[in-house]
Amino acid sequence: MEESMELVAAKCGKQLNEYQRCILSSRSDSNPAAKCALYQRALAQCSAEAVPLIAATKRHCSAQIRAYDACLQAHVSRDDAADALQKECSGVLRELWRCTEMVKTRYQSEKYSTEGEEARAQAEKVLGI
């Protein structure tokens, strides 16, 4: 996923910076997520369009993403949020991680397979086979 994050930063830098600035400037607000929803949507749209692996992950892991988001929302406002998030959401996060790893493995396998087929077709064309 590091590669995907680097691609998001490279291709959606403006949206990422705007969202980060909004979150940082809204830390004292009661609901920074709501205040920054417009920036979050812009970043999500850009990343889904610019980074195919992110779009694939969103499609295949939507249930795990929703479960993790719900867990975060349920526990983030508690006084012991850090402990609560670790205790209550670690299993949900583990399931999300497993799903993303599965998607990444499939995506890379398909990507390399497609690249190999394209290279073989190009070589056959050049060699007149």
Token representation of residue 61: 């892991």
- Structural domain contains residue 88: no
pLDDT at 39: 94
CB 8 within 8 A of CB 50: yes
Does residue 105 belong to any structural domain of this protein? no
pLDDT in tens, 86-129: 888 899 999 999 999 999 898 888 765 655 565 555 655 666 55
Asked, for residue 96, whether it belongs to a domain, the answer is: no
What domain range is 26 assigned to? 1-50
Domain annotation covers residue 59: no
Q: How many domains does the chain have?
A: 1
In a domain, 124, yes or no: no
Asked whether residue 63 is assigned to any structural domain, the reply reads no
Is 46 among the domain residues?
Answer: yes
Which residue in the block uniquely carries the two structure tokens 């812009």?
42
pLDDT tens for 61-87 read: 999 999 998 888 887 776 776 787 888
118 Cα distance to chain centroid: 28
Residue 128 lies in a domain: no
- In the prediction, which pLDDT does 51 show? 87
One DSSP character per residue, 76-94 reads TTSTTHHHHHHHHHHHHHH
